[in-house]
Homo-oligomer: A and B are copies of this chain.
Amino acid sequence: MCRWMAWMGQAVPIEELLFKTQHGIVDQSLHARMGAEPTNGDGFGLGWYGTGEGPGVYRSVAPAWGDANLRELAAHIEAPLFIAHVRAAIGSPVQATNCHPFRRGRWLFVHNGYIADFDLLRRDLMLAVDPAQFAEVQGSTDTEVVFHLALTFGLESDPISALEQTIGLIEATARDRGVAAPVQGTFGVCDGESLWAVRYASEGPPRSLFASTDAATLKALHPENPRLQRMNEGDRVIVSEPFADLPGAWHEVPPGTAVYLRHGGDLKERPFVLRGG
């Protein structure tokens, strides 16, 4: 369930990507085309790095397509890095504490997918969370627990390695509990300077994940698009489902792969290899 997108590059009004693209994330909240749920109307969240200390987070239980405040914020906040997420709840309550992105300090975390039979695994996984963080878990989603496991395994020093250990642990726990194919999805992480994303499924094809190609290619592909012509080298979008108005502009992240992006740098890929378990 869910869809997400992240922007990294020059500071832009958030509405440019949330509302002014064709088939952007807010449009996807009402009718997504890829993946399992066409409607992602069970709340949303936006995390951005701008004025003030650390990221700001706005989360609401309203559908993104109808939230008047989201339009206001998107029109009046600029940021060089932000993540937006629209939610399709599968079982857990529709409440702000279940909306992504989750935050700790400078870190934000989003997920599109699920941990299968999470109810059967929740206690074991919660026990594996650093006891000092246990009481920080405020909602009831699988994703928030994944985030705190990754923090426990060192997300703040090496996000991909921490996620490899986290998913490794979930796979092992699922085996112990007789849960098959427990992990499905894509994950996004950022700290204000860099952005990491992972595409993984225990079995079968994982949820889709795309990165925009570099700005030069985008400009050459779409010389008629004035917004693209304003893009700088290094501006990038990571999306669970491409915008409709930019054919040819997307690089599909392969299954079982992690990507890494730094302000102004190239997109780097590496295999996502489970650890531990």
CA distance A50 to B66 in the complex (A): 24
B96 touches A76 (CB 8 A): no
Across the interface, which residues of B come within 8 angstroms of A123, CB to CB?
131, 134-135
Across the interface, which residues of B come within 8 angstroms of A59, CB to CB?
68-69
A58 touches B30 (CB 8 A): no
B50 touches A39 (CB 8 A): no
Residue from B48, B62, B75 within 8 A of A52 (CB atoms):
B75
Across the interface, which residues of B come within 8 angstroms of A56, CB to CB?
72-73, 75-76
CB distance from A208 to the nearest CB of B (A): 21
Dominant secondary structure of chain A at its interface with chain B: mixed
A62 touches B60 (CB 8 A): no
A119 touches B93 (CB 8 A): no
> In chain A, residues 18-76, which have Cβ atoms closer than 8 Å to a Cβ of chain B?
30-31, 38-39, 41-42, 48, 50-53, 56-63, 66, 68-69, 72-73, 75-76
Query: How many copies of the chain does the oligomer comprise?
Result: 4
CB distance from A167 to the nearest CB of B (A): 20
CA distance A140 to B97 in the complex (A): 10
Across the interface, which residues of B come within 8 angstroms of A93, CB to CB?
68, 95-97, 138
CB within 8 Å for A58 and B42 given contacts A122-B135, A127-B127, A134-B122: no
CA distance A118 to B139 in the complex (A): 16
- Contact-residue size bin, chain A (C-beta under 8 Å from the other chain): 35 or more
Quick one: closest B residue to A94, CB to CB? B66
Interface residue? A171 (CB, 8 A)? no
Residue from B41, B69, B134 within 8 A of A41 (CB atoms):
B41
B96 touches A96 (CB 8 A): no
Interface residue? A78 (CB, 8 A)? yes
A51 touches B39 (CB 8 A): no
A63 touches B60 (CB 8 A): no
Across the interface, which residues of B come within 8 angstroms of A52, CB to CB?
13, 75-78
Residue from B51, B69, B89 within 8 A of A76 (CB atoms):
B51
CA distance A111 to B30 in the complex (A): 22
CB distance from A92 to the nearest CB of B (A): 8
Across the interface, which residues of B come within 8 angstroms of A69, CB to CB?
58-60, 69, 96
Using a CB–CB distance below 8 Å, which chain A residues touch chain B?
Answer: 13, 30-31, 38-39, 41-42, 48, 50-53, 56-63, 66, 68-69, 72-73, 75-78, 89, 92-97, 118-120, 122-123, 126-127, 131, 134-135, 137-140
The 10 residue pairs across chains A and B that have the minimum distance between CB atoms: A56-B76, A52-B76, A119-B135, A123-B134, A95-B95, A122-B135, A41-B41, A66-B94, A52-B75, A56-B72
